[in-house]
């Protein structure tokens, strides 16, 4: 009991209990509100549609537009559509080739080509894969009766020209029509092209894993440095301490990528970009995490840990590594643009799966802006904070009191 009483006399004991409770409350509150109604927002996902066929292909286009509960983007150029897919502006392309009608008229299997970008959240990839199969089935059900009717019509016209008795001809005509209508077949096939595909299953979790490990590491490091700073704050000026902390942050941020890249190689996670690109991107991302976590701690002190827990949960939800940002509410979508994990996850999708390097450059620029803003906030708070003045008793040496 004495040990228990001793622990409960220390403030840190209560802080530990509060933080544990806060983890539960914060994670439940943020995740449940962020993912509430996600299925109702599937219409925000975008599908690119391009038809090079002016015949029955146009009927297919109209059918797709009327059936699919997604945002449809029409393209006149396949190159532009593929570029949008590579930049993750659309999640899938539905392409109807120019020979679609001619293949059907020739009695051959026509084809619809689906291209799905694998550099996306798993839920979006699986959803698009299911949509591709569903669209093909529905188009088959729609087109095949039309073909049956045209075949019967063409047969009737030719058959009516033959020199036969009307009654016999009508009976044969009806028998052939019944036979044609009874034939059920798939006249339209599908080809699903998975762009930026990576065979390793574990690669799908790299963006999320890197975000979690990097930000949690940043949180813990900043908290420990805050405690160290409180111990030495009477010995050095606030600006010397602030500068020293930034130098440590930069040093760790640019050393850690070597470990990250090494671990990726150790577990056979290949990269679609060169070593230097991965190194610089990881360094910028971790530096941004450090600066964000540091800003909360400098502003609120030890209480800033609660804000960092909130930041962790929000970033996991809004990064796009688990659920596409398009399926989140407007509030969380706007919040995502202010947080480094959004650009970290998007960048790692490009690093692991491939895609447009323009996206990677844009992500680096956004991370740089976050670093600059959070550093400016931390510096401003440091400037406004008064330097602790030592009391007279602290200046009195032991030799004086005798």
Is the per-residue pLDDT at 391 higher than 60? no
**Domains of the chain, with CATH numbers?**
2-30+201-384 (no CATH), 38-195 (3.40.1710.10)
pLDDT at 339: 96
Spatial separation of the C-alpha atoms in residues 339 and 319, rounded to whole Å: 8
pLDDT of residue 183: 47
pLDDT digits (tens, 9 = 90+) for 42-63: 899 999 999 999 888 888 888 8
Quick one: average pLDDT of 202-228?
A: 91
Q: Which whole number is the average pLDDT over 309-318?
A: 94
pLDDT at position 58, please?
A: 86
Tokens of 130: 């299911």
Q: Is residue 170 over pLDDT 80?
A: no
The reported pLDDT for the residue numbered 355 is: 83
* 119 has a pLDDT exceeding 70: yes
Choose among 14, 23, 35, 15: nearest CA to 310: 23
**Residue 248: pLDDT band by 50, 70, 90 thresholds?**
very high
Stronger pLDDT, 160 or 334, i.e. the higher one: 334
* Residue count (the chain): 402
Whole-angstrom Cα Rg for the chain: 32
pLDDT at residue 160 in the model = 58
Q: How far apart are CA 361 and CA 130, in angstroms?
A: 32
Spatial contact of 249 and 378, defined as CB atoms under 8 Å apart: no
Mean pLDDT of 87-103: 92
- Give yes or no for a contact between 269 and 231, defined as CB atoms under 8 angstroms apart: no
Three-class SS state of 190? strand
Q: Which run of H or E residues covers position 65? A: helix 56-67
- pLDDT range class, residue 335, cuts 50, 70, 90: very high
Within a 13 Å sphere around the CA of 29, how many CA atoms are in the beta-carbon half?
10
């Amino acid at each position: 009991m004495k040990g228990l009483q001793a622990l409960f006399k220390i403030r840190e004991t209560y802080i530990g209990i509060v933080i544990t409770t806060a983890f539960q409350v914060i994670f439940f509150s943020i995740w449940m509100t962020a993912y509430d109604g996600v299925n109702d927002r599937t219409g925000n996902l975008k599908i690119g549609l391009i038809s090079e066929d002016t015949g029955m292909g146009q009927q297919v286009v109209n059918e797709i537009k009327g059936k699919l509960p997604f945002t449809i983007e029409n393209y006149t150029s396949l190159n532009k559509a593929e570029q949008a897919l590579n930049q993750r502006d659309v999640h899938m392309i539905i392409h109807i080739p120019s020979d679609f009608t001619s293949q059907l008229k020739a009695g051959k299997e026509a084809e619809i080509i689906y291209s799905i970008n694998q550099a996306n959240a798993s839920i979006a990839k699986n959803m698009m894969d299911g949509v591709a199969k569903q669209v093909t089935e529905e188009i088959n059900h729609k087109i095949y009766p039309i073909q049956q009717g045209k075949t019967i019509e063409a047969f009737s016209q030719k058959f009516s020209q033959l020199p036969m008795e009307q009654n016999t001809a009508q009976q044969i005509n009806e028998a052939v029509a019944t036979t044609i209508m009874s034939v059920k077949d798939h006249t339209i096939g599908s080809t699903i092209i998975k762009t930026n595909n990576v065979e390793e299953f574990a690669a799908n979790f790299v963006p999320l894993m890197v975000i979690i490990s990097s930000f949690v590491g940043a949180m813990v490091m900043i908290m420990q440095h805050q405690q160290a700073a409180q111990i030495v704050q009477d010995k050095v000026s606030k600006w010397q301490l602030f500068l020293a902390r930034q130098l440590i942050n930069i040093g760790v941020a640019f050393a850690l990528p070597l470990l990250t890249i090494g671990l990726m190689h150790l577990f056979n996670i290949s990269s679609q970009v060169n070593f230097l690109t991965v190194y610089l991107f990881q360094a910028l991302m971790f530096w941004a995490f450090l600066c964000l976590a540091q800003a909360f701690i400098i502003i609120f002190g030890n209480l800033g840990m609660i804000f960092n827990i909130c930041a962790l949960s929000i970033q996991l939800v809004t990064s796009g590594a688990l659920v596409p940002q398009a399926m989140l509410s407007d509030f969380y979508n706007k919040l995502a643009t202010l947080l480094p994990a959004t650009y970290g996850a998007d960048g790692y999708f490009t690093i692991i799966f491939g895609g447009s390097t323009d996206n990677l450059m844009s992500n680096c620029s956004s991370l740089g802006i976050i670093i600059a803003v959070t550093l400016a906030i931390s510096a401003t708070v440091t400037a406004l904070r008064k330097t602790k003045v030592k009391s007279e008793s602290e200046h009195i040496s032991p030799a004086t009191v005798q």
